Structures are given as structure tokens and as C-alpha cells.
Chain A
Amino acid sequence: MNLPGFLRGMPQVFLQEFRGNLKSVRFLIMALVATLVIVGGAYGISGFTAGFGGGARPIVVWPHAAVDGSGNHIAVAWVSDGFGAPLARRAVTFANMTTRNLIGEVTTNAEGFARLNVGNASEVLVEASLGTFENSASILWGFVEPYNFTVASSQDDLDGDFALDDFSLHVLDLAGDPVAGTVRVNGNVTGSLDAHGFLLLELSPGQWNITLDVAGETFVTTAYVSEGGELPFFTGPDFVLLTIASLSSWIVSIFAIVISFDAVSKERVQGTMDLLLSRPASRTGVLLGKFLSSFVAVALPVTLVNLAGIGAISAASGQAPTGSLATAFVGYSLLLIVYYVFLMLAVSTLVKTSGTAVLFGVLIWLLLNILYPIVTFILSAALSGGDPATQFRINQSAALANPSSIVGALIALAAPAALLGTGGGTALDASALGAAAVFWFLLLFALALWTFQKKASE
């Protein structure tokens, strides 16, 4: 392979160093830590947050007590997502409510229904799961039904607006089949049950009389929607991915520092620098070889772990994160690696020992990831005069001076608008962020190249 003169030596140095990186204990440790934090965190946070606060539940079991022509009790479960879309081919278990002994397991049909003849059982616990999220409900017989239908209802915060203002109804007849019906809210007809017997209403704050009319029978219930003020607690794959992106940026930057901190200084310590520089290789080629070996050694496991993290979020929450956000997460993590590797190559060239390089690596990490964000947060709070929007803008603008923060802002830029204020969104436009990202790339590349050209042999 004929390379331009300024790249001579790059492949040789890359291969040699890359092999060394892959065999190193620190590589194995960091790959393991990254896997535990990112994949484990993604799976754990998805499962943990799925049961809390607002946001659509990924799976809802609507329980109904039905009876067949022979008087057998038929336990009916309609399984849908939070918005009423039926979930087919989900396993539903039916168990004795008291003993928890399994009565049977049925897979939902294409319409989301699972039905099981439970004989004369009077209390059945029905349960279905999606990823790590489970939903269960109880079905009771023995009451005299006042209507020729059964109603299951739920009040949720499906759209993440911090208010339990989404009221859902699911209605079946006593045989366990969907019925037609209309719904009035405070007397005004608002909607009809769909083909599965489901209706979702979004209510404003206040008290509402919900009236259901089915085949001449009227069922009335009351819904109360508070003025809000609940703590914003988002769930869902995008929110989890944004949370993981914050954790990931810490781990990825540490990974890059750990792999590259002594890329140059070790040559000096081992006494191999003069032998290397006397080879027919350009210094640019040697530096780029060292850069690539560190970059690829970090980028490969990090990309795999990030993809596995996205997979874990999808598996745990039953829904994949938004594509653009996932792409930004994976792509901009690579940019973060580039920044830190170039930075550490410059540091590694300037210092005389690997111990000093480690110290500088720790200080740089603390400065960019802890100290700078704290200082800019305090300054933005002081300068904003108490206006949260101004503080947000100042904080975001300050991110332009920190390569770590730029990567975070770029990922936030790709987040859906619904996540604005919870880690998503940015006060900066894409062009400003893009220009800053390119600027930092060029600056750190030039810094690493200049220091290596001038200081590698001293």
C-alpha cells in the first residue's frame, strides 16, 4: 500500500499499538466496566422507571369476568399498550388469587385477547409482561352484575405532561366480547368505543362525569384531574437513553484516557522513542498510528456496548428509542473518543513519565466533566437573574467551550421535543454546535500534532 509521505509509518504503528491495547489488562477492565454501566444501566433504568410516574405504560392488562353458556367462569384479558393498541402474541398467565398457583397460560390472539375457562374459580390473578415491565390485574366473579357489560378503566399520564389526565375505558359484554358504545363527558358526547371496546379520553384539570351508553344501559363514573405540579419524572426509551448517554460520556471519556494516556510517554520511559523515530516514518504518520490504535481500541467496544445498551432499553421497555437519538448517541460517542484521545496524546507527549500523564488525565477529566459544569451552572444561575430560560441558555452557551459538553448537547439536540428540559433539547442551534464540534476537533488534532512534532524527541 502506497501512502502519502506524511502518513508513512501509520499502519505499522497502528497495528503494533492496537495489538498491545487489545492485550492489555486495562482494556479488558474498561470494556467490562463500560458493559456493566451502559448495558446494565440501560436495562436496569428501563425496568426501574417503567413502573413510576408519567409516561405510557408499555403493556396494560384489561381484566374482565365473563361466563359461558354452561355457567363456567371465563377469565378474559385484553392486552394493549398504554394507548389502546392491542398486543398480539403476548403470554398471559392466569393464577389463583389466593394461592398464586398457575391455572393456565394463554397467548393473546391478533386482537390482543386471551381467554381461559377457569371453571368455578371466583378470584383470578391475570398477568402479562413486556421486557422487564409487568402488568397484572384481578378478575372477580360472584357479584350480581348490574349491567350486561363489564368496564375496566385507567387514569394515566400517557403523554408525559405531568398530569394524570388520560382516562381510558375498556368495555366487554358478559360473554367477554367487545361491545359498541358512546361516551359522554359532563353530558357532551366525546367518543365511541372502538372495535376492541376501548376509548381513550384526554381530560383537562377538574372533576368530570364520565357516562357510558351501551345498548340502552348507562354507566356513570367520576374522574378527577389535578392541576398538575407533580415532579416531572419521565419514563420511556428516549428518556432512559438520554440518562444512559450522560453516564456513557463519563465512562467513554475515562476509557479513552485510560487507553491513551501513555501512548507517547511509554515510548520515552521504555527508551524506544529514538528507535521508532529513526525509522522511515513521518512524525504525522507515527502520531496518527498512535491515535488510530487508541481510537479503534476504545471505539470498537464502546460502539458494541452502546448498541447493546440500546438493545437492552428496547428489550426492557418493549419499545426502541427514537432512531435519530440512538444514532446521535452512538455517533457522537465516537466524537467524544476522538477528542479525549487527541487531548491525551498531547499530554502524553509533553510529560516525562506515565505517572504524570495519569495525573493529568485525572485532572482533565475532573475539569471537563465535574468542575466546568458546576462552575458554569453557578455562574449561569448568578447571571440569569433567576430566569430559568436565561440560565438554560447561558449554561448551554458555556458548553461550547467544553468538548465533553458539546457532545452532550449534540445528543440532546437529537432528542424528541417532549424531553426538553429533562436532558433533551438545547438552546443552541445545530449550526453553532456543529461549528464548535469541528473547531474542537481541529484544535485538539493540531495540538496533538504540534506537540508530537516538536516535543516527541525531547
Chain B
Amino acid sequence: MIEVEGVTKVYGGSGGAKALDGVTFRVPKQSVFGFLGPNGAGKTTTIRILATVLEPTEGTVRIDGHNLREEPIAVKERLGLMPDEVLFYPTLTGMQHLLYYASFYAIPRADARAKAKDLLERFSLADAARKKLKAYSHGMKKRLALAQCLLHDPEVLIMDEPANGLDPAGMRYFRDLIRWLNKEGKTIFLSSHMLSEVEQLCERVGIIDRGKIVAVDTIASLTSRLAVGAPTILHVAATGISDTAVEALRAIPGVTNVEATPVGVDVTAEAGSDVSAEVSKVLVLAGAALREIRAEQRSLEDLFLALTRGGGP
């Protein structure tokens, strides 16, 4: 659905700053694609290019088969943009905003009004429909931002930090909404700092750093790749672990470190070693009351830190 090939963006002419450098990725139809990167990595520039706000210096962007450079209007008709900063015209009401934005699409006025009313109700903004935007809270503006990008029923939604600045209930609301939109068949390009959100919502992610894509794949595939070559850590919950038991654990072949924790010990073994059965046996024989042995999973956060500047010194 979204195809980005070799996109480069240079600000300020040929000698200017290169914000994107050969960015390439694909977002399958009806998927939720997470787009991650540290501040200044090029996320917003990528989003503004996808949303047809910026033109790439080089490279090709296709949305639903339409080339952004050659058919910008066709691309615009197929996408809805929810920008990070949801600032609107302060003197317009919520309803006026939706009607103004709807007027750009081939939606009859009566249908646009009905659609706007429906969206305002769906996003719990019906009571504020006739209030000016300066009276809206941050959460209300976020919901209106989502409503405006759904007005024309676009196939692709580009969302920049949709849950940014929301309270836990608001974040959950948006998470559920994104799942529902995905079920409705929307392709969602989701940029977020909240890795837990991305982990819960996205099948595939792209990670960008210093203007270059450093990884694009499913989260499972990326984390398993990350795990290859990394030491195995077992989190052991047990009571009555004696010094003798700790020494016995250290003596297990492949174990490189044993550290006491408030609930028991963490056992670190060489990469590829499966020492969990041996650890269990040693502790039971040493008279410890074993409750749980859990191998540490590699998280998206580990992946993010490992692949971006966040993982560096």
C-alpha cells in the first residue's frame, strides 16, 4: 500500500542538511506499521513527505500505486493525516473545521455534514461541536484531529504520535481506536515514541536513525535477530538460596554470572546455552524453595536502543 524507495530529503539546496538518506520501506495493505526513531532521526520529515506536504529531493513514494510526484492529488485523496501538533483555527468550531476540511473532497455538503456529525458523536465531541477550538482540551483536539482525517474515509492513515500527551485512559482509547480502524481495513502508518504502544499495535516496524532506515521487519523477527549472539539471562524467583547454592550455580558449564536479586537470583549464561534445567536441579538439591524460572525476552526497547543512537555510549 505504501512504497517508499530511496527517498532523500535535503533542506536548503544541494549543500544543505540531509534529513533523509535513501529511505526505503514498504507498508502492506491493511497493516499497522510502526515507525520509530530518536528525536531528529527523520520521522517527521518522512511523515510530511508521505502526507504530500514536502517533496522528496530524490526517490519515489507510491501510495496505493499512485506516484506522489506525478499524481499528488490522487495520493492526497487516499490518505488522512493526523499530525503530532494538533493546532487548528482558533476561531472556528469543531463542526466548522470538519466542514471546511471536507469541502476539499468530492463530498456533497449534506453528506459532509452528516459524516462530520457522526464522527463528532463517535469521538465524544458532539457536545462541543459548536464550541470554538480555543475551548477544546488537548484530548479533545486529538480526537478532532482523528475525526478530520477520517472524513473522506481514506485508505491510508498517517498518524504522528497519536497518543502523545494523553492520560492513560486517553492512550487506551486511542489504542482501541487504532485496532478498530485496522479491522475496518485501514492501512495505518504510526509514528510514536511510545514503544509499548507500538509493540501492542504493530506487526511490522521501521526504525530510522540519522535519516537512514536501520531496520524494517516484524517485531518478532527483529527481536529474535537481536537475541542471536546475546547472553541468556534467567530470572529465578526462589527463597532459601544459600551461598553453597550460588557457588553451585556458578559451577554450571556455560554460566558466566550469578547475581542476587530481591526475589532470588539472575543467572547469566553464554549465548545459545540452555541452562534452565541445570539451574532448577541445583537449586532444588540445595534446598531452595523454587517458584519460577523465566528466560528474559528481548523487547522492542532493547531493539530500539541497540539500533539507534540510544544504544551507543
Q: Do A and B originate from a single complex?
A: yes
Given A270-B88, A272-B88, A272-B89, A279 contacting B101 (CB threshold 8 A):
yes
Q: Kindly list chain B residues whose C-beta atoms are within 8 Å of the C-beta of A187.
A: none
Partner of B53, one of A5, A277, A282: A277
Partner of A270, one of B48, B77, B89: B89
A385 contacts partner chain B, Cβ-Cβ < 8 Å: no
B135 contacts partner chain A, Cβ-Cβ < 8 Å: no
Bound Cα distance from A442 to B91, whole angstroms:
34
Over the window 257-286 of chain A, the binary record of Cβ atoms lying under 8 Å from chain B Cβ atoms (1 yes, 0 no) is 000000000000011111101111110000
Contacting pair A9 B148 (CB below 8 A):
no
Q: Kindly list chain B residues whose C-beta atoms are within 8 Å of the C-beta of A8.
A: 73
Bound Cα distance from A122 to B146, whole angstroms:
91
Q: Kindly list chain B residues whose C-beta atoms are within 8 Å of the C-beta of A23.
A: 91
B105 contacts partner chain A, Cβ-Cβ < 8 Å: yes
Given A270-B87, A271-B87, A278 contacting B81 (CB threshold 8 A):
yes
Contacting pair B54 A275 (CB below 8 A):
no
Bound Cα distance from A8 to B72, whole angstroms:
12
Contacting pair A457 B54 (CB below 8 A):
yes
| Residues of chain A from 3 to 46 with CB closer than 8 A to chain B in the complex | 5, 8-9, 12, 15-16, 20, 23
Q: Kindly list chain A residues whose C-beta atoms are within 8 Å of the C-beta of B81.
A: 274-275, 278
Contacting pair A16 B100 (CB below 8 A):
yes
Bound Cα distance from A277 to B50, whole angstroms:
12
Contacting pair A280 B148 (CB below 8 A):
no
Q: Kindly list chain A residues whose C-beta atoms are within 8 Å of the C-beta of B51.
A: 274, 277-278
Bound Cα distance from A458 to B12, whole angstroms:
10
Main SS of chain B's interface residues? loop
The closest CB in chain B to the CB of A20 belongs to B91
Residue of A8, A272, A278 most packed against chain B (CB within 10 A): A278
Q: Kindly list chain A residues whose C-beta atoms are within 8 Å of the C-beta of B186.
A: none
Given A271-B85, A275-B83, A281 contacting B48 (CB threshold 8 A):
no
Residue of B86, B88, B103, B148 most packed against chain A (CB within 10 A): B103
Partner of B79, one of A15, A277, A278, A457: A278
Q: Kindly list chain A residues whose C-beta atoms are within 8 Å of the C-beta of B87.
A: 270-272
B280 contacts partner chain A, Cβ-Cβ < 8 Å: no
- A-B pairs with CB below 8 Å: how many? 59
Contacting pair B52 A458 (CB below 8 A):
no
The closest CB in chain B to the CB of A11 belongs to B103
The closest CB in chain A to the CB of B152 belongs to A280
| Residues of chain A from 277 to 321 with CB closer than 8 A to chain B in the complex | 277-282
CB distance from B293 to the nearest CB of A (A): 51
Contacting pair B77 A280 (CB below 8 A):
yes
Bound Cα distance from A271 to B73, whole angstroms:
22
The closest CB in chain B to the CB of A23 belongs to B91
Q: Kindly list chain B residues whose C-beta atoms are within 8 Å of the C-beta of A275.
A: 81, 83, 101, 148
Partner of B104, one of A272, A273, A281: A281
Bound Cα distance from A274 to B90, whole angstroms:
16
Bound Cα distance from A279 to B52, whole angstroms:
9
Give the interface size class of chain B: 20 to 34
The closest CB in chain A to the CB of B88 belongs to A272
Q: Kindly list chain B residues whose C-beta atoms are within 8 Å of the C-beta of A272.
A: 87-89
Bound Cα distance from A26 to B86, whole angstroms:
27
CB distance from B20 to the nearest CB of A (A): 15
Bound Cα distance from A281 to B104, whole angstroms:
7
Bound Cα distance from A279 to B100, whole angstroms:
11
Bound Cα distance from A271 to B88, whole angstroms:
7
CB distance from B48 to the nearest CB of A (A): 6
Residue of B54, B89, B148 most packed against chain A (CB within 10 A): B89
Contacting pair B53 A12 (CB below 8 A):
no
Contacting pair B88 A278 (CB below 8 A):
no
Contacting pair B48 A274 (CB below 8 A):
yes
Bound Cα distance from A192 to B126, whole angstroms:
88
Over the window 61-102 of chain B, the binary record of Cβ atoms lying under 8 Å from chain A Cβ atoms (1 yes, 0 no) is 000000000001100110101010111111100000000110
Q: Kindly list chain B residues whose C-beta atoms are within 8 Å of the C-beta of A282.
A: 72-73
Q: Kindly list chain A residues whose C-beta atoms are within 8 Å of the C-beta of B53.
A: 273-274, 277-278, 457
Bound Cα distance from A278 to B53, whole angstroms:
6
Over the window 173-191 of chain B, the binary record of Cβ atoms lying under 8 Å from chain A Cβ atoms (1 yes, 0 no) is 0000000000000000000
The closest CB in chain B to the CB of A12 belongs to B103
Contacting pair A270 B90 (CB below 8 A):
yes
Q: Kindly list chain A residues whose C-beta atoms are within 8 Å of the C-beta of B79.
A: 278
CB distance from A303 to the nearest CB of B (A): 27
Contacting pair B105 A280 (CB below 8 A):
yes
Residue of B86, B101, B104 most packed against chain A (CB within 10 A): B104
CB distance from B21 to the nearest CB of A (A): 19
Q: Kindly list chain B residues whose C-beta atoms are within 8 Å of the C-beta of A270.
A: 87-90
CB distance from B200 to the nearest CB of A (A): 27
Q: Kindly list chain A residues whose C-beta atoms are within 8 Å of the C-beta of B83.
A: 271, 274-275
Given contacts A277-B52, A279-B101, 5 further A-B pairs with CB under 8 A are A8-B73, A16-B100, A23-B91, A278-B81, A458-B11
The 9 closest A-B pairs by CB, nearest first: A271-B87, A279-B104, A280-B76, A278-B51, A278-B81, A12-B103, A277-B53, A271-B85, A457-B53
Listed by A's residue number, 14 A-B pairs whose Cβ atoms lie within 8 Å are: A5-B73, A9-B104, A20-B91, A270-B90, A271-B83, A278-B52, A278-B53, A278-B76, A278-B81, A279-B76, A279-B101, A279-B104, A282-B73, A458-B11
